[in-house]
């Protein structure tokens, strides 16, 4: 419940305007020693299996030696929840907090208030909805993420999930490992992707890449967003803009969610909206779990109204063992993995290192990386 309140508080802040209060903590040249805390998932025995597996606690984005050689203190943990967790011990005196969407540390207004030395919040990856952005802006903090670092990874994963659902792959896989052989049990609901209508809710960097990757499959491509994609990309992909979200959804055989989690999109796919979708619709959601009404999705999968649901995002994360999506039929869910391929890890680790280096020197970050700067939220969160 506390986690839900924290995340709800963060999301409610996304669209609010904000000013910077009197205890402004904008970035400045920072040559003195800094305390940097990173919160990542623990890899245990897998940490040593790949030298490029940098996104875990054990390998700490590969920046420990670099930071410590410059006199900075670097604390890394996966323990992020509860009053006695490891992260809480460092809140009062840390200067920089590095978090990740794959194992999010919920940065609440209460935590920000107690973090008297905090100046910079970095997301190793894309998506900073685990942070109370209004509170960060009011505290004069800078929030930034490594924009573009895992868009290829997520778009490829979405395409894979579409094919897994369309071809009814998982029942066949389960037959093999269970020693069964029943072609009819797979074929009765396996289809071609060609000719199907696919709509993406959101056509930002990931959504645009997905449209390009779907083009060779000869689908009918639709998209809904607050902004239209370029005429050149519309022509290249054949994708058609749909201004009315519900009208687009009603046309779709397959829906892919590619929109940020904001106050407007929290619970966007509720029972009422799902009831208006085509019976037998397939849904892929690698955006954020809280965009969906959890129980409404589980009920629709159970009834067959949703014929297949796949994604890697849950609410909360990590998902509890009794989360209904673990046990609902016709699902192809995984932990939050799509954006943390080895290639993506190397990109977001390099991006974090670059921003830390700029922070130490007092230089600006690449403009597209800013989520909160000088009291202003990035446009996608307004």
**337 is known to lie in a ligand binding site:** yes
Q: Are 118 and 126 in contact (CB under 8 A)?
A: no
**100 is known to lie in a ligand binding site:** no
Partners of 274 in beta bridges: none
| Catalytic entry in 95, 288, 347, 369 | 288
**338 is known to lie in a ligand binding site:** yes
**42-76 burial by CB neighbour count: b if 16+ within 10 A, else e?**
ebeeeeeeeeebbbbbbbbbbbeeebeeeebebeb
| 150 assigned to active site | yes
**26 is known to lie in a ligand binding site:** no
Q: Are 369 and 348 in contact (CB under 8 A)?
A: no
**226 is known to lie in a ligand binding site:** no
| Catalytic entry in 59, 168, 285, 317 | 317
**262 is known to lie in a ligand binding site:** yes
Name the strand (E) or helix (H) holding 55. Answer: none
**93 is known to lie in a ligand binding site:** no
**72 is known to lie in a ligand binding site:** no
| Catalytic entry in 111, 119, 130, 150 | 150
Residue 180's contacts (CB-CB under 8 Å, 6 or more residues apart) are: 174
Helix, strand, coil share of the chain (percent; to 5): 35, 15, 45
**312 is known to lie in a ligand binding site:** yes
| 288 assigned to active site | yes
**131 is known to lie in a ligand binding site:** no
Number of helical H runs and strand E runs in the chain: 14, 14
What does each C-alpha distance from 320 to 7, 140, 286 come to in angstroms? 16, 34, 18
**225 is known to lie in a ligand binding site:** yes
| 4 assigned to active site | no
**260 is known to lie in a ligand binding site:** yes
| 24 assigned to active site | no
Sequence-ordered alpha helix ranges (H) in 223-262? 231-237, 245-251
Residue 208 is encoded by which pair of tokens? 């645009």
| Catalytic entry in 95, 336, 347, 369 | 336
Residues making up the annotated binding site for substrate are: 126, 150
Residues making up the annotated binding site are: 126, 150, 205-206, 225, 260-264, 286, 312, 336-339
Residues making up the annotated binding site for NAD(+) are: 205-206, 225, 260-264, 286, 312, 336-339
Among all residues, which ones are annotated catalytic? 150, 288, 317, 336
């Amino acid at each position: 419940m506390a986690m839900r309140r924290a995340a709800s508080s963060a999301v409610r802040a996304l669209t609010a305007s904000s000013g910077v209060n009197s205890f402004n903590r904008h970035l400045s040249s920072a040559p003195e020693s800094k305390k940097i805390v990173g919160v990542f998932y623990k890899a245990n025995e897998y940490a040593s299996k790949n030298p490029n597996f940098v996104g875990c606690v054990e390998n700490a984005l590969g920046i420990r030696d670099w930071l410590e050689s410059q006199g900075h203190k670097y604390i890394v943990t996966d323990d992020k929840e509860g009053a006695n967790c490891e992260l809480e011990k460092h809140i009062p005196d840390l200067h920089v907090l590095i978090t990740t969407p794959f194992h999010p540390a919920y940065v609440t207004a209460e935590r920000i208030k107690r973090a008297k030395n905090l100046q910079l919040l970095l997301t190793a990856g894309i998506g900073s909805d685990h942070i109370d952005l209004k509170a960060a802006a009011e505290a004069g903090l800078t929030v930034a993420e490594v924009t573009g670092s895992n868009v290829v990874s997520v778009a490829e994963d979405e395409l894979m999930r579409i094919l897994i659902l369309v071809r009814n792959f998982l029942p066949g896989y389960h037959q093999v490992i269970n020693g069964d052989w029943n072609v009819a049990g797979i074929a009765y609901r396996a289809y071609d992707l060609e000719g199907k209508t696919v709509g993406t809710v959101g056509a930002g960097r990931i959504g645009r890449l997905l449209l390009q990757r779907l083009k060779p499959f000869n689908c009918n491509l639709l998209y809904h967003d607050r902004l239209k994609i370029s005429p050149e990309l519309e022509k290249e992909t054949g994708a058609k803009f749909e201004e009315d979200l519900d009208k687009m959804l009603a046309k779709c055989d397959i829906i892919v969610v590619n929109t940020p989690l904001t106050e407007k999109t929290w619970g966007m796919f509720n029972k009422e909206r799902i009831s208006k979708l085509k019976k037998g619709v397939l849904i892929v959601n690698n955006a954020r779990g809280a965009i969906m009404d959890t129980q409404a999705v589980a009920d629709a999968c159970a009834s067959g109204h949703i014929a297949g649901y796949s994604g890697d995002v849950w609410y909360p994360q990590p998902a509890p063992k009794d989360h209904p999506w673990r046990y609902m039929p016709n699902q192809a869910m995984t932990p939050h993995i799509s954006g943390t391929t080895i290639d993506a890890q190397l990109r977001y680790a390099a991006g974090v290192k670059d921003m830390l280096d700029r922070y130490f020197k007092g230089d600006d970050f690449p403009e597209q990386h800013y989520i909160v700067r000088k009291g202003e939220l990035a446009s996608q969160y307004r």
